[in-house]
Amino acid sequence: MISNGQPSNEFPAPLPSAEKGRGSIAGKVVLIIGGVGDMGRTLAAELAEQGAHVALVYRRQAAEEAHATKRQVEAHQRECLLIPATPEDDKRKFARRVVKHVVDTLGRLDIFIDYSSAADNGEPHATNGDEASGSRDVFPGIGMLVAAMNQIAEQT
């Protein structure tokens, strides 16, 4: 969040308060990458409580946490699409496939949240989408952002 041109220490910014299912994000589809830890699960549940459907890209070793997040989202009568991340040579191609899968399954994509920099231990780490397949980061980074933004732009 930026205040008076200076970054603030507030993170994440609170979502606008709204009556359950009637918020400004009601009916929107949110794609989150890397958000299966406690903070990501809380974010996904809050989005669902405000009426959003969630698509979640997660590391295979975090499958249990991803399914716990899915249960919390679905408790708010919202869809939750789980997509396991796979280390691939072409992360941009994977990103395009993820966005297409979200749109094919949930009908659209409205919001993209990259939580992958805090996915391991809450500490951000840099990613450029081109890391070697042996890297701890299997998320497509900038490629996912570009694919998501292209889809959102096409819908408007």
CATH number at residue 70: 3.40.50.720
Lowest mean pLDDT among 17-26, 78-87, 146-155: 17-26
The answer to whether 78 and 54 are in contact (CB under 8 A) is yes
Domains held by the chain: number: 1
Q: Write the pLDDT tens digit of every residue in 59-69.
A: 888 999 999 99
DSSP 38-58: HHHHHHHHHHHHTT-EEEEEE
Q: Does residue 28 lie within any of the structural domains?
A: yes
Give the rounded distance of the alpha carbon of 114 from its chain centre: 5
Q: Which residues constitute the domain of residue 140?
A: 19-155
The pLDDT value recorded for residue 18 is 40
d(CA 31, CA 54): 6
Q: Is residue 13 part of a domain?
A: no
Q: Which tens digit of pLDDT belongs to each residue from 11-39? A: 444 433 444 445 589 999 999 987 778 88
Amino acid identity at 58: Y
> Around Cβ 93, how many Cβ atoms within 10 Å?
13
